[in-house]
Amino acid sequence: MKILVTGGTGYIGSHTCVELLSAGYEIVVIDNFSNSKRDVVDKIKMITNKDFTFYEGDCCDKDILTKMFDKNDIGAVIHFAGFKAVGESVNEPLKYYRNNLDSTITLLEVMKEHGCKKIVFSSSATVYGKPDSLPIKEDFPLSTTNPYGTTKLMIEDILRDLYKSDNTWSIALLRYFNPIGAHTSGLIGENPNDIPNNLMPYIVKVATGELEILSVFGNDYDTKDGTGVRDYIHVVDLSKGHIKAIEKVLSESGIDAYNLGTGNGYSVLEIVNTFMKVNGVDVKYKIVDRRPGDIDACFADPSYAKEKLNWEATLGIEDMCRDSYNYVKNVKED
Ligand code: WQD
């Protein structure tokens, strides 16, 4: 029995493939390299000293998905594949709705046709919109403020309707907070080619001199130092959460959502200062206007995932800052 990982060469997907292989699972991976590099396949194999089946392809392509299920005994799926840039989704909503929804519906149809009814879905804390209180629990109201977030909420709704139609499905909805960091090997991580939207990749590029200065989007929020507060979680902790979720969906039917966060909120300036301290580098920054759509603060109550998945984050922001920088330094040396 194999686990299919869609988007398995992406940032979170590649780290999850490492954890799956290390835990003894056999995996099949599909990716179209729309937001990842081809050499990640080999790096996953190098880290784990394990082999696996890889298909280059798009999850909107029913033929390749059918071929994968025909040729492999796939018992469960972890579905990462999808576009994920908030800003891009505002400018190009149809691209996001077409890709993220079409790929998911196609995948679910092929799963159903092959009797595979176990899936872990890569959702996001963005489905909570602007929370009325903190920390955020899974039963909080759901709303979204951008097309990317709306595709995540729509897919959650599709999966909830699917389960209502057939309660033999087993579905885990994993709501990520802010994943950062990289595998300690320095072989896989996050290093976008273009100008990063997210905080940590931007900090790293300023630290390496690739970008001149970090713009801190506002210091007039209702937070400890006025800058935005988020629940940053190490991507390795996040990936281990997927192993627990796979164990859950393999063991019982049902559908449930789980917050994958640390439960701790850190401000932009706390992250910048921690990054400079642990890496011994300078990160120049300037305070600018708020970024439209940003919220003051967002952090998880992760107790449900602890209770139901027996999972909790163990790595701290110093690990996240050190590993993020270690990866990019390693990539630059390549
Ligand atoms: C974090 C903080 C910014 C960049 C988004 C998506 C979410 C998930 C993670 C996919 C905020 C501040 C940022 C910069 C800054 N993605 N910031 N200068 O917006 O919390 O979440 O990415 O699932 O769905 O919404 O993450 O890293 O963009 O911002 O000051 O150059 O850093 O204002 O307070 P965000 P982020």
Question: What is the mean pLDDT of the segment spanning 13-40?
Answer: 97
Taking CA atoms only, the protein residue closest to ligand 1 atom 17 is 199
pLDDT of residue 334: 67
Tokens 């910048």, residue located: 272
Peptide bond preceding 201: is omega within 30 degrees of 0, i.e. cis? Answer: no
Told to judge if 163 belongs to the known catalytic residues of this protein, a careful annotator would answer no
d(CA 136, CA 145): 17
Q: Which residues contact 325 (CB under 8 A, 6 or more apart)?
A: 204, 207, 275, 278, 279, 281
d(CA 332, CA 334): 5
CA of 199 to the centre of ligand 1 (A): 6
With a 6 Å cutoff on the Cβ, whether 217 touches ligand 1 is yes
Residue 296 structure tokens:
């003051």
Taking CA atoms only, the protein residue closest to ligand 1 atom 14 is 199
Q: Which residue has the higher pLDDT, 232 or 194?
A: 232
Tell which atom from ligand 1 comes closest to the C-alpha of 146.
25
pTM: 0.97
pLDDT tens figures, 84-127: 999 999 999 999 999 999 999 999 999 999 999 999 999 999 99
Question: Do the beta carbons of residue 111 and residue 119 sit within 8 Å?
Answer: yes
| Dihedrals phi, psi of 136, to nearest 5 degrees | -85, 130
- What is the identity of the amino acid at 210? E
d(CA 222, CA 224): 7
Taking CA atoms only, the protein residue closest to ligand 1 atom 33 is 217
With a 6 Å cutoff on the Cβ, whether 48 touches ligand 1 is no
Tell which atom from ligand 1 comes closest to the C-alpha of 267.
34
d(CA 46, CA 43): 5
With a 6 Å cutoff on the Cβ, whether 169 touches ligand 1 is no
Taking CA atoms only, the protein residue closest to ligand 1 atom 27 is 198
pLDDT at 194 over 90: no
E-only strand ranges, the chain: 2-6, 26-31, 53-56, 74-79, 118-124, 170-176, 178-180, 214-217, 229-230, 232-234, 254-260, 266-267, 285-288, 297-298
Nearest CA among 256, 26, 227 for reference residue 119: 256
